[in-house]
Structure 1
Amino acid sequence: MATFFSGGTIWCGIGCVADSVRIDGEKIVEVNGAAQPGDNVVDLAGAFMAPAFMDGHAHPLFGGREAQGPLVNGLQTVAEMVAEVKRFADANPNTPWIIGGAYEAAAVNGGDFLATWLDEVVSDRPVVLQAVDHHTIWVNSKAIEIAGITVATVDPDGGTIARNPDGSARGTLREPSAMDLIMKHAPERTLEDDVAAIAWSSQRYLESGVTASVDAWVREGMAEAYMAADKSGALKIDMDLYLLAQPDSWRDNVNYFGQIREQVKALGPKSKLACKTIKIIGDGALSAGTAALLSPYLDDPTSKGLLIWNDDEILDAAVLFDSLGFQLHMHAIGDAAVRQSLDTIEKMVAVNPKWDRRPVITHAQLIDEADLPRFASLGVIANYQPLWTYLDPMNKELIAPRIGDERNNRQYQLKSMIKSGARMSYGSDWPVTSYIPLLALAVPTHRQSPDKWPAEGWSAHEAITIEESLSFYTAGVAYQGFNEKRFGEIAVGMQADLMILEQNPLAIAPHDVASIKIRTVYKSGVAVIG
């Protein structure tokens, strides 16, 4: 039976509003038509219909995993975090490693958390907590002991171990190479645990109006869990897997990545999985002092952060994966990392045959003025996290003191990027920050904290409209994923992934958008929420 919707605002895409929509099966079959005999007629009663949200940069398996451990996300003091670790440890006495997240690094001046604070509540087994930036972990002394980290342990390439005055590890490690010193000793997760985490994450997404996402950090074993979840029905949304290439292992993984891509393709047309992208991490995070900058950090004039890849190695990887038909999704936060990514793409394009490659630079927080126009000229998609476009505690307490107000205030140049003609998309970076799009949708418009600070907005000249943001959460992500003929707009032939909101986000005060309720979510024409 077809379903006919009318009686509200139907936002089809930027600059396009319809009076009615008719869906039949999984597809949209008519826009601005009339109900047919036998249709299920739905009166929107003044509500707002739009394409469902899509998430163009996230780590949903990590989000599900964190939900299976101590939940320190949102806690504001060390005492609260330690208490939550104790609660979980007491409730789970047989769990060999306690792993959770994501803690607010700005709760401690400088972001160095001590192992001894965790030792007070758990000393007999390792504790590992991810920071909100997911480039940092906080561990207890047992984890340090098991990893064999001593005064003599050298910082690994691209990573740092925070140290006490005597050279011993304090309890904070930054960037994957250093974090792996600990994590390689953690017990392997079971397939069943990860399938459960994927089921939990995809259900949270549906509840927030998201029907398609990506996992932008897929390492060995994770793709296998997603395939198992897809086959069992535990995966309830469309998911694009981004395979993580790292400097020390990417050459060894080329065949494995190709095998995973083929295995995903073999799942068939009913599968919710895709795998066509390689993830490359170019630098760290500004909050950790590991984002790569063109000029030194103010709090450490000897440091410009960390470029995780050298120029030759990242180019070799980019050229090879691009030649194999993989899209590149490149993490670059500091202006030096953004420049390295753009330089790499420019050289890669000059070497390899032309094709519809759609490279992505995600985060792109700090961009040198000379580099901003290069996104459009090179066909690079800028993937932003809209919830980050206000002066949050991490920016105020950790980033601004490190890089100074001038550079801090040049972050998130969304309006300038639009003016340059570059394509844009949005992502949450969950579990670094919330997966709920409605909490983030209007932030690039008001650019203020929830209590409306600062009054004029943070770098208000870079503010954009809510409709532009809505398009980046829908059509922008669809284009990024080569899905613009399937998702992201309300048009005939599109998959009927739709959401109905109680209020029109384009017609209310920006700060009220975060409190809009979702009435119904349709996935492939079926109401899955509401």
Structure 2
Amino acid sequence: MLKSVIAGLALLSSGSALAEAVAAADAVFLSGKVLTFDRQDRTAEAVAVRDGRIVYVGTNAAAKAMAGAQTRVIDLKGRVLMPGFVDGHVHPLGGGAQLQLCNLEYLPLTTEQFLARIQACLDREPNAPATEPLSVVGWYRQYMQPAGTDPNRDVLDRLRTSRPVVVTNRDGHSTLVNSRALELAGIDNATPNPPGGSITRDATGRATGILEDAAARLVTAKSGTGGVEAATVADGRAALKALAQAGVTSILDAYMTEPGLKVYQELARRGELTLRVHAAIGASPRKGETAEQVVARVRDLRDRYDTPATGPVPALRVHTAKLVMDGVIQAPAQTAGLIEPYWKNHGDHDHPNWGPGDRYGPIYLEPQQLTDITVGLARVGIEPHVHAIGDRAVKVTLDAFEAVRKVVPDDRIRPAVAHAELVAPADYARFKTLNAVPVMSYQWSIPAPNSVTGAKNYLGPERFERMEPFDKLDAAGARVVYGSDWPVDRMDYWLALKAGVTRAGGRNAVPEFRGRLNAADGLARKTALRSITIDGAWALHAEREVGSIEPGKLADLIVLERDFLTMPEEELAENRVLLTMVGGKIVHQTEGLGQ
């Protein structure tokens, strides 16, 4: 069978590609298992690259004939060669910054451990000004020990410092600050909640120091902590290095403002971009901003920063807008908008009695407001990419996309719903009908504090069984795309892909979180890989250039240590990328890959 497939590929490539191959190839990959992900889903054994593009896919014999004295010849020794990863929702500049900040590393921490790690960061900067904030990342709010521990401003005020301290939860939706940070930001008990966020208050009306979603910007806007507003070229470099090592060759940066665009623009100017950047402009309306003003603001940034590529060298593309409809499902935040209320314990810890409560979670944009913005964006050729996690938020978003389809009925606009952790069954088929893209983070289907401790009882058994419905959306015909959402989670693409197949974590999971999240199906292995290659490329309008291995396409390729399609299921997370090539240029290579 394999020989006949290879022969077919050789015949396919023997026309224009081989006719062009008078000049020697720049690089030739031999003796591998080449997963093309082309329309026929064919497999080959060799690939040749010249001038940043793939010029041949087929047999060893024909590829060898294209090698000259200066050709880099790489013997794959049976390893897998496949298209580079296309991450459909990631925050690289934040991830790059996080690699360099005070980091709690997503660990389960007691209050004392939590404070000790932050104090150690403060002690490393004894001469920092009293107004200079300490930004702390990698906090796992739902994993505080013992379970149910939820620190507030009074806990942070125990730190030996006069500096403002800003601690960001792993999901990016909850921020904890000390009293000094509240003071400098001008937040008191009477400060109103901003659009798209809330200042958490206790039973007496006192601000607790927990800021949900857009409320965090009341602090960060004045302190300069975190976010793309404070992004630097150094953050970009750190992120690009990590992504190259992981095999990522194209991304959608899922939240961009002008300072972040300038970072990418500068990296491109210096020739330092090692992946293809597609940027989604933050389009949630500012206070008093109309839909027309939102569209004009996004369009202006698109027109000034979008840089179509002129060859194989990566460029900055700007054709997407990011909107936020709700927050997160997990307790204690519960800021995802649900159709039916969250459950609560009507009993006590020793005698629990879970049932419906009275909280539904917010919707940050009114339905008509969302519709007006998404339709306005579509009219000027900008695609909406909407964060919607709860089933009500997803439903309202799909309703807005119905209006978009009346304006742009074809796939010139490819709207996306990011995360979609809970979707009403009646809405599964609407994704295909509307040609809307569910961008899913498979690692969230691993049993963990956020998915079990913070969600299971609060959703009730029926909704929990439907949580993370990527299998159901795939079965309903939607084109499912993977988005890591890094640095919300650690960068671990193989663990995430394993979760997409098994709904379980790695073999070293702690006993409390072993096994599957729920009884829902996983994806087929090849479907999972397609979601991070050719389907991810389609979502970005890049499928003609990347996402599959075909003559004429850009040489964005990776070599794997192990074959994800055949290795034992329990070991699927135990893989790594040995080589990453972008536009024919090797941007990452491990020792021992023979050539």
What TM bracket, shorter-length normalisation? Answer: over 0.9
Q: CA deviation at 1:462?
A: 1.9
In the alignment, which residue of structure 1 is the partner of 2:13? none
Amino acid at match of 1:294: I
Whether 2:53 is the aligned partner of 1:27: answer yes
CA contact (8 A) 1:283 1:290 kept: yes
In the alignment, which residue of structure 1 is the partner of 2:19? none
Give the distance between the partners of 1:143 and 1:136, measured in 2 at CA. Answer: 15
SS in 2 for 1:529: strand
Amino acid at match of 1:406: E
CA contact (8 A) 1:446 1:460 kept: no
- Map 1:426-505 → 2, pairs under 5 A: 426-451=482-507, 457-505=516-564
In the alignment, which residue of structure 2 is the partner of 1:305? 361
In the alignment, which residue of structure 1 is the partner of 2:28? 4
In the alignment, which residue of structure 2 is the partner of 1:186? 223
Give the distance between the partners of 1:193 and 1:279, measured in 2 at CA. Answer: 18
SS in 1 for 2:466: coil
In the alignment, which residue of structure 1 is the partner of 2:116? 83
Q: When the two structures are superposed, what TM-score results if normalisation uses the length of structure 1?
A: 0.94
Amino acid at match of 1:281: V
In the alignment, which residue of structure 2 is the partner of 1:272? 315
Amino acid at match of 1:82: L
In the alignment, which residue of structure 1 is the partner of 2:14? none
Q: CA deviation at 1:164?
A: 3.0
Whether 2:376 is the aligned partner of 1:320: answer yes
Amino acid at match of 2:36: C
- Map 1:207-218 → 2, pairs under 5 A: 207-218=245-256
Q: Return closer, same or farther for 1:242/1:110 CA change in 2, 3 Å cut-off.
A: farther
- Map 1:120-159 → 2, pairs under 5 A: 120-159=158-197
Q: CA deviation at 1:461?
A: 3.5
Residues 20-76 of structure 1, C-alpha deviations (whole Å, 9 max, x = no match) = 111112011111141125143321112111111111001111112222321112221
In the comparison of the two structures, how many residue pairs are matched? 529
Determine which structure has more spread, i.e. the larger CA radius of gyration: 2
Residues 210-254 of structure 1, C-alpha deviations (whole Å, 9 max, x = no match) = 111121111242212221222123432111110011133554443
Q: Percent identity?
A: 28
CA contact (8 A) 2:495 2:506 kept: no
Give the distance between the partners of 1:528 and 1:348, measured in 2 at CA. Answer: 39
Q: Return closer, same or farther for 1:170/1:301 CA change in 2, 3 Å cut-off.
A: same
Of residues 289, 292, 300, the one that matches 1:259 is 300
CA contact (8 A) 1:57 1:216 kept: yes
Q: Return closer, same or farther for 1:352/1:425 CA change in 2, 3 Å cut-off.
A: closer
- Map 1:369-380 → 2, pairs under 5 A: 369-380=425-436
CA contact (8 A) 1:111 1:398 kept: no
Give the distance between the partners of 1:258 and 1:403, measured in 2 at CA. Answer: 39
Q: Return closer, same or farther for 1:496/1:268 CA change in 2, 3 Å cut-off.
A: closer
Give the distance between the partners of 1:292 and 1:307, measured in 2 at CA. Answer: 6
Residues 356-411 of structure 1, C-alpha deviations (whole Å, 9 max, x = no match) = 11111110110101111000001101111111122221111111232223212211
Q: When the two structures are superposed, what TM-score results if normalisation uses the length of structure 2?
A: 0.84
Give the distance between the partners of 2:149 and 2:369, measured in 1 at CA. Answer: 31
Give the distance between the partners of 1:389 and 1:18, measured in 2 at CA. Answer: 33
Q: State the superposition RMSD in angstroms.
A: 2.2
- Map 1:162-173 → 2, pairs under 5 A: 162-173=200-211
Give the distance between the partners of 2:489 and 2:414, measured in 1 at CA. Answer: 25
Give the distance between the partners of 1:353 and 1:153, measured in 2 at CA. Answer: 44
In the alignment, which residue of structure 1 is the partner of 2:136? 100
Residues 258-315 of structure 1, C-alpha deviations (whole Å, 9 max, x = no match) = 2321222357625521000011111110012000000011127222101000011111
CA contact (8 A) 1:294 1:335 kept: yes
Give the distance between the partners of 2:225 and 2:442, measured in 1 at CA. Answer: 34
- Map 1:356-371 → 2, pairs under 5 A: 356-371=412-427
Give the distance between the partners of 1:488 and 1:281, measured in 2 at CA. Answer: 28
Question: What stretches of structure 2 of length at least 5 have no aligned partner?
Answer: 1-24, 345-355, 590-595
